[in-house]
Amino acid sequence: MFRRALMIAALGGPALADVPVPGGRAIPCYCTDSQGDRVELGEVICLSVDGRSFTAQCQMSLNNPMWRELHEGCLSSRVSPPPAPAAPEASPRPAHG
């Protein structure tokens, strides 16, 4: 459990809190994904940690950005192609009369 929490915290990286500091400027607050890209607070992404994928949201905890797991697995934008239409059936033979 500790290892998992440590890995999730490491993914968040050393991001800073979005709080005013002396001098009146704000320090931006964000998380980083496993490739080091910036992820804004509130964004939800799919994280893969230690061979496990889950949906996580960038949140604040005690003035530190962190990843909070929302649920196991991730939604995928890949959509399976629809099944091919069935071949048209042969028309019935006309009756001879």
Give CA–CA dist 61/17, Å, rounded: 10
**Residue linked to tokens 């934008």:** 77
Q: What is the mean pLDDT of residues 8-36?
A: 66
pLDDT band at residue 60 under the 50/70/90 scheme: very high
Cβ contacts of 65 within 8 Å, gap of 6 or more: 12, 15, 17, 29, 30, 31, 41, 58, 59
pTM for the structure as a whole = 0.53
Q: Which of 18, 5, 12 is nearest to 39 (CA)?
A: 12
- The arrangement of strands across the sheet holding 64-72 comes to 44-49, 52-61, 64-72
pLDDT band at residue 27 under the 50/70/90 scheme: confident
| Residue 8 pLDDT | 45
Lowest-pLDDT range of 15-19, 20-24, 26-30, 78-82: 15-19
